[in-house]
Amino acid sequence: MRFSIIYEAQMADTSRENEQRVFHEIIEQSLLAEEMGFDVIWAVEHTALTQYAHMSAPETFLAYLAGRTTRIGIGHGVVCLPPAMNHPVKVAERIATLDILSNGRVHFGMGKGGTQQEAGTFGYQLSELQPMVDESMYLIPKILKQGEIEHDGEYVKIPHRPIHPSPKQDPHPQLYMACTRADSLITAGSRGLGALVLGFAGPDDIADKNAIYRDAYASRKAEDQVGYRPQAHLAALCPAIVLDDREKARRVGLRGQRFFVESLGYWYSGGPKPSVEDLDASEQEAALKRHKEETVAWLSEEKIEVGRHHTESFEVAQDAYGTPDDCIRYVTRLFDAGADEILFMFQMGGIPHEVIMETIRNIGEKVIPHFRAAPALAAE
C-alpha cells in the first residue's frame, strides 16, 4: 500500500505574491511528507485554469523537488500529451533526465487534459485529442527503451534520430494513465497501465471501478500493451484534513471542498466563480447542497452533478475530514475497495498552510504507521 499527495497548486488569491507563496508552501509540505514516510508526490498539469490549478509546468516543479529530496517518489499525474503541448520527444527527454537526477524515483502518468480552455490554448478541439494522445502514449516508451526513434504517424512525424539521455529505470519508469470513467479504466487495464483514479467517488464506487480495471488488466492482449513494464495498480483520490480538533477539520475541509467543486464547475461547465466564505461545517454542507440541481461539472468528460454524484462522494469522504482515527477508518474502506495507493489531496483553495502541515504530520505519525504495522500484526 502506498500513501501519496497530489498537488494542483490551487489558490483563492491569485496575486503574484500569493502565487509564489503557494509554490514555496507546497515544497515545504512535500519535504515534511518525505520525512513523515509518504511515498510519492504527484503533480497535475493544467494550463489557463485560474484558481483551479496553477500547476502548469510540473516538470519544473518536480525537478526542483527531486533536488530537495532523497527518497520520496516523483510523480507526473499526468503529463498532457497533445503534441503541440508536449511533443513526445521532449517528454521522453525530460522524463529520462528527471529519472537520472532523482536516482530512479520517477512515476510517469499520461493523459490529455480535461477542458476546451486548455485544448484551445494549443489550437485543439478537446473532442479531437484522444487519437493523438494515444499515438504519443505508445511512442514515448519506445523512445525511452530504444534511445532512438523513427516514426511516421498520423499526428507525429520524426525522422530517424538518436534521443538522449536514457532513464535510470530500465527500460523506463512505471507508467500510469489518468482515469475517471469506466471506459478509461478499461483502456488503462487493457494497456497494462496503472490507473490514477482522479474522480471523487467514495469507496463503493472505487470498488466498482477496481473490478472494471482488474478485469481489463487480466484479459489484456500483448499487442495493446503500452511500454514494457505492465503493472496492475489503482490509486484512489482522497481529499483529507486531519487534525486533533475534528470540528475544525470538518469546517476547514468542507470549505476547501466547496472551493474545489465550485472552481471545477466554473472551468468545466461555466458555473459561478468559487466562493471563499468561511462558514461552519453545517453551513458549508448546506451551501454544497444548494448546487445539487444547478451546477454540472465535467472532469475528463465524466458528467458529475455537483451535490449529487460529486458532492455525495465528497460527503462520504468527510470521514477523512476529522481526527486520525476518522482518517484511518476511511482509508481502510478505500484499501478494502481495492485501492493500492491513496492520493491524498490537502491543497484545496484557501486551506491554510499550517493546517496542511498539521495534517501531513498527523497522517505521518498516526495513520501511515497504523497500516504499515498491520501486515506485521497479521503475521504474528
pLDDT digits (tens, 9 = 90+) for 44-89: 999 999 999 999 999 999 999 999 999 999 999 999 999 999 999 9
340, 312, 316, 319: which is closest to 241 by C-alpha? 319
Report residue 105: phi and psi, to 5°. Answer: -105, 5
Among all chains, which residue has been given the C-alpha cell 533536488? 67
Cα gap 333→352, rounded to integer Å? 27
Neighbouring-strand partners of residue 151: 158
Residue 314 has pLDDT above 50, yes or no: no
Segment 209-229 mean pLDDT: 98
The candidate with the shortest Cα–Cα distance to 296, out of 284, 308, 286, 285, is 308
Which whole number is the average pLDDT over 364-376? Answer: 88
Confidence band of 322 (pLDDT split at 50, 70, 90): very high
Quote the CA–CA distance of 21 and 278 in Å, as a whole number.
21
Q: Of the segments 175-179, 273-277, 307-311, which one has the largest average pLDDT value? A: 175-179
- What pLDDT is stored for residue 292 in this prediction? 42
What's the pLDDT score for residue 332? 97
Label residue 22 left, alpha or beta by phi (over 0 means left) and psi (-120 to 50 means alpha): alpha
Query: Using an 8 Å Cβ cutoff, are 310 and 265 in contact?
Result: no
Average pLDDT over residues 196-207: 87
What's residue 225's pLDDT? Answer: 98
Mean pLDDT value of segment 86-93:
98
pLDDT-derived band at 204 (thresholds 50, 70, 90) equals very high
**Model confidence at 308: pLDDT above 70:** no
Higher pLDDT, 199 or 118: 118
For the segment 221-267, what is each residue's pLDDT rounded down to a tens digit?
999 999 999 999 999 999 999 999 999 999 999 888 888 888 887 88
Give the rounded percent of residues in the chain with a pLDDT score beyond 70.
Answer: 86
Q: Rounded to whole angstroms, what are the CA distances from 80 to 86, 114, 115, 129, 160?
A: 7, 10, 12, 10, 24
Q: What number of H helices and E strands is found in the chain?
A: 13, 14
The rounded distance, in Å, linking the Cα atoms of 192 and 52 is 31
Q: Distance (Å, rounded) from C-alpha 91 to C-alpha 108?
A: 10
- Residue 78: is the preceding peptide bond cis (ω within 30°)? yes
The answer to whether the predicted template modeling score (pTM) of the entire model surpasses 0.85 is yes
C-alpha cell read off for 279:
462558514
